[in-house]
Amino acid sequence: MASADTMSGGAARPEIKILHFADVGAVLRAGLADFRRAPQFGLFFSAVYVLGGFFMLWLGAGHVTWTLATSLGFPLLAPFAAAGLYEVSRRMEKEQPLEWGGVLGIVWAERTRQLPWLGAIIVIYFLFWTFLAHMLFALFMGLSTMTNVSESWDVFLTVNGLMMIGVELVVGAVLAFLLFSLTVVSLPLVLDREVDFVTAMLVSMQTVRANLLVMLVWAVLIAVLTLLALLPWFLGLMIVLPVLGHATWHLYRKALA
């Protein structure tokens, strides 16, 4: 059994460093610099999300079942798209050549390592949150007279409706931050080092706990920028996602020795 100071395979557990608020701006600038240096990779991986968003709107419009089914592909693909951005930043850091074959080869090789397990955890988490959201809706609105929400939002302006929205937002924020804590460091960690996904998630949560306020600011920043990027028909994601992806790599490098 590995000791508390080692990871699976006998590798030394990385030392968690203390982050500062200034590091948030520093990693954002580094992420933007990486994107500007090799925009073709960032645009390629972010295009997966943008095209996928349009595909979901087209296929699932008016059909909740189809929307849910297609959206399950996003949590599965997200770690692999992120791995591509991390690999680009890693190669820049080590001054290695940026070649499509090399970058995509790393992403392809991850299918047999720990990344699919992290993708599976994200999918399970997504399904749990979907189930919980429906339970909260039934709890608050189950006895209400239902209307077609596409024609009228009045049902949400009732006391029960407003309470439901408030509870959904609070519970959603807590669950989102927990998922952020599990993945913010673990995704780049399993790409960078030989470590199992459970250990990587534990290290990620320990890193967040050691830098709670800074990580909270980073999580809120990701949420706000992503929300704003979604507004112009997902097109803002073409810039925001690669910048945040590259920046997350630099945050990982600052957080772990």
**Of 86, 8, 15, whose CA–CA distance to 256 is shortest?**
15
Instruction: For residue 125, give every residue at least 6 positions away whose Cβ sits within 8 Å of its Cβ, in sequence order, or none.
Output: 75, 175, 179
Residue-wise pLDDT for 21-62, tens only, equals 999 999 999 999 999 999 999 999 998 777 866 776 666 554
Higher pLDDT, 161 or 186: 186
Please compute the mean of the pLDDT values over residues 111-115 and round it to a whole number: 86
What CA–CA distances, in Å, run from 15 to 5, 40, 185, 204? 9, 34, 13, 12
Please compute the mean of the pLDDT values over residues 155-160 and round it to a whole number: 76
In this structure, the number of other CB atoms found within 10 A of the CB of residue 12 comes to: 10
Higher pLDDT, 160 or 217: 217
Least confident window among 26-40, 58-72, 173-187: 58-72
The answer to whether residue 157 scores a pLDDT higher than 90 is: no
- pLDDT at site 2: 36
What are the residue ranges of helices labelled H in the chain?
21-37, 39-60, 64-71, 73-93, 100-109, 115-141, 159-183, 186-192, 197-210, 212-230, 237-255
Average pLDDT, the chain: 84
Higher pLDDT, 200 or 6: 200
The pLDDT confidence band at residue 138, using thresholds 50, 70 and 90, is confident
In the chain, what are the domain boundaries? 8-145+152-255
- pLDDT at site 234: 77
Q: Which residues pair with 12 in a beta bridge?
A: 6
Per cent of the chain over pLDDT 70 is 81
- pLDDT at site 4: 38
Burial class (CB in 10 A: 0-12, 13-18, 19+), 87: buried
The predicted model scores a pTM of: 0.84
Please state, in angstroms and rounded to a whole number, the distance separating the CA atoms of residues 44 and 102.
Answer: 15
CB 187 within 8 A of CB 79: yes
User: Per residue in 42-52, is it b (16+ CB within 10 Å) or e — as a string?
Assistant: bebbbebbbeb
Higher pLDDT, 254 or 58: 254
Please state, in angstroms and rounded to a whole number, the distance separating the CA atoms of residues 53 and 116.
Answer: 22
